[in-house]
């Protein structure tokens, strides 16, 4: 469960991490009153559970309450990467001397957490991480040991952060453990011109498996802001929308995660995570294809299945029957391996759909899906 920025900000305050004064508003009129209470000059920030708000126009400086009202009217209702803005946060502006990035994230493969920090925070942290990986420090954290004052100081020193950020690193770790979080991120963590350390933006992802312990966030079923994620959940699909162009469908979370990595390694971006689990009936495949194809960013689809309990011929039958009810509008690359793979490939060959092609390896399938997505973008 991802929290909104204003919710993360409230948690930061509870744990002694300084944040700018701020209020939220659901309407432009409320935004005007909030700006007046905050001193007039405010930053108006869209509240959506996705990144890239600034570049999408969802973060604006307003010089007075009237400007805050106009800005909020423009931002409310915006679509940012498939998320509709229904609330804005208005915060007092800060005179920034330096911006940093700090986070703790679960490293499932290593069975521990990872501290990630950089002296180059802000909107371009992804570009920094891609082009200058040495500027981003990654330090494994043993959950049994946690973040002691010594460990916090070591992380700050390694990342080139000032010593005054070490207490924040300790408090963020306490948030992670106390709140059952999988990710706690501050970007940017800033040093003001007066030397204060403030969290200007925050992201917290809570572990859905711990919802029964975190009752203030609701113990019921999770809610979804993204309409495609909501549609998938209603169909019983394990789907997470990403920001790429290659739709991915697989059976088993581990296989799907590996597929995402291979697609990225081929120079393309996965558009989603979709695990159809152990079954691949016609209805499951139809539902999966319907959800993936509904994403306007998808330019090709990769189905990667390893036949085990569910044999590949049953998966192929499911795909063929799904194509009778789903209008395939994007090229579909299918890789079948494992139990009855040869028979499954023959079934798809016999169907001979003009937009469906097969590959025998995961790498080959990913490369072909990446090429098809690139070719579609060039048209």
Q: What is the pLDDT of residue 61?
A: 96
Q: What is the pLDDT of residue 291?
A: 92
Q: What is the pLDDT of residues 60-102, one digit of tens each?
A: 999 999 999 999 999 999 988 878 899 999 999 999 999 999 9
Q: What is the pLDDT of residues 312-370, one digit of tens each?
A: 888 898 899 889 888 898 999 999 999 899 999 999 999 999 999 999 999 999 999 99
- Nearest Cα to 24, choosing from 12, 8, 227? 8
Q: Is the dihedral of CA 241, 243, 246, 252 positive or negative?
A: negative
Rounded CA-CA distance 9/278 in Å is 40
Residue the block writes with tokens 């590949």: 312
Query: How sure is the predictor about 16, in pLDDT bands with cuts at 50, 70 and 90?
Result: very high
Q: What is the pLDDT of residue 348?
A: 95
- Nearest Cα to 50, choosing from 219, 207, 240, 198? 240
Q: What is the pLDDT of residues 91-115, one digit of tens each?
A: 999 999 999 999 999 887 777 899 9
Q: Is 167 exposed, middle or buried (0-12, 13-18, 19+ CB in 10 A)?
A: middle
Q: What is the mean pLDDT of residues 129-156?
A: 90
Span of 157-161, 222-226, 232-236, 255-259 with lowest mean pLDDT: 222-226
To the nearest whole number, what is the mean pLDDT of the chain?
A: 90
From residue 22, alpha-carbon distances to 13, 41, 56, 90 in Å are 11, 12, 21, 5
Q: What is the pLDDT of residue 69?
A: 97
Q: Is the dihedral of CA 147, 150, 153, 155 positive or negative?
A: negative
CB 314 within 8 A of CB 277: no
Rounded CA-CA distance 106/113 in Å is 4
Q: What is the pLDDT of residues 21-60, one digit of tens each?
A: 999 999 999 999 999 999 999 999 999 988 888 888 999 9
Residue 185 is among the residues annotated as catalytic for this protein: yes
Q: Mapping DSSP to helix (H, G, I), strand (E, B) and coil, where does residue 98 land?
A: strand
Span of 178-187, 247-256, 309-318, 358-367 with lowest mean pLDDT: 309-318
Contacts of 321 (CB under 8 A, 6+ apart): 282, 285, 286
CB 322 within 8 A of CB 289: yes
Contacts of 323 (CB under 8 A, 6+ apart): 351, 353, 356
Catalytic residue among 4, 6, 100, 101: 101
Residue 6 is among the residues annotated as catalytic for this protein: no
Rounded CA-CA distance 267/367 in Å is 8
Residue 350: count other Cβ atoms within 10 Å of its Cβ: 9
At residue 294, does pLDDT exceed 70? Answer: yes
Catalytic residue among 5, 23, 185, 245: 185
CB 137 within 8 A of CB 155: yes
Rounded CA-CA distance 252/219 in Å is 26
Q: Is 144 exposed, middle or buried (0-12, 13-18, 19+ CB in 10 A)?
A: exposed
Q: What tokens appear for 152 in the block?
A: 């916090």
Rounded CA-CA distance 196/92 in Å is 15
pTM of the full predicted structure? 0.66
CB 357 within 8 A of CB 329: no
Span of 122-126, 217-221, 262-266, 333-337 with lowest mean pLDDT: 217-221
At residue 219, does pLDDT exceed 90? Answer: no
Q: What tokens appear for 290 in the block?
A: 């319907």
Query: How sure is the predictor about 234, in pLDDT bands with cuts at 50, 70 and 90?
Result: confident
The DSSP string of 308-336 is SSS-HHHHHHHHHHHTTTS---S-EEEEE
Contacts of 158 (CB under 8 A, 6+ apart): 117, 137, 139
Q: What element of type H or E holds 269?
A: none
Residue 226 has, within 13 A of its CA and on its CB side, a CA count of: 20
């Amino acid at each position: 469960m991802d929290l909104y920025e204003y919710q993360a900000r409230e948690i930061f305050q509870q744990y002694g991490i300084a944040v700018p004064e701020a209020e939220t508003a659901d309407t432009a009129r409320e935004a005007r009153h909030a700006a007046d209470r905050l001193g007039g000059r405010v930053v108006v920030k869209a509240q959506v559970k996705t990144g890239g708000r600034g570049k999408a126009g969802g973060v604006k400086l307003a010089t007075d309450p009237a400007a805050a009202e106009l800005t909020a009217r423009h931002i409310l209702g915006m679509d940012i990467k498939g998320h509709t803005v229904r609330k804005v946060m208005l915060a007092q502006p800060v005179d920034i001397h330096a911006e940093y990035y700090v986070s703790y994230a679960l490293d499932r493969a290593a069975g521990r957490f990872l501290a990630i920090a950089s002296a180059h925070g802000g909107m371009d942290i992804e570009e920094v991480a891609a082009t200058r990986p040495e500027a981003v420090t990654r330090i494994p954290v043993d959950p049994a040991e946690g973040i002691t004052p010594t460990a916090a100081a070591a992380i700050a020193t390694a990342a080139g952060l000032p010593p005054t950020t070490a207490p924040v690193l300790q408090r963020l770790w306490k948030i992670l453990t106390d709140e059952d979080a999988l990710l706690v991120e501050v970007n940017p963590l800033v040093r003001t011109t007066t030397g204060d350390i403030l969290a200007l933006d925050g992201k917290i992802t809570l572990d859905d498996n711990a919802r029964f312990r975190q009752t203030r966030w609701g113990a019921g079923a999770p809610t979804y802001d993204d309409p495609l994620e909501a549609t998938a959940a209603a169909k019983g699909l394990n789907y997470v929308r990403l920001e790429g162009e290659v739709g991915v469908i697989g059976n088993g979370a581990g296989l799907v995660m590996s597929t995402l990595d291979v697609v990225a390694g081929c120079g393309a971006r996965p558009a989603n995570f979709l695990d159809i689990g152990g079954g691949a009936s016609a209805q499951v495949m139809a539902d999966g294809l319907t959800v993936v194809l509904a994403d306007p960013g998808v330019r090709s689809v990769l189905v990667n299945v390893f036949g085990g309990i569910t044999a590949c011929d049953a998966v192929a039958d499911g795909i063929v029957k799904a194509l009778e009810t789903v209008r395939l509008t994007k090229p579909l690359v299918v890789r079948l391996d494992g139990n009855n793979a040869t028979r499954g490939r023959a079934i798809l060959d016999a169907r001979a759909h003009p937009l469906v092609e097969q590959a025998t390896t995961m790498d080959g399938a990913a490369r072909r899906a990446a090429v098809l997505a690139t070719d579609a973008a060039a048209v």
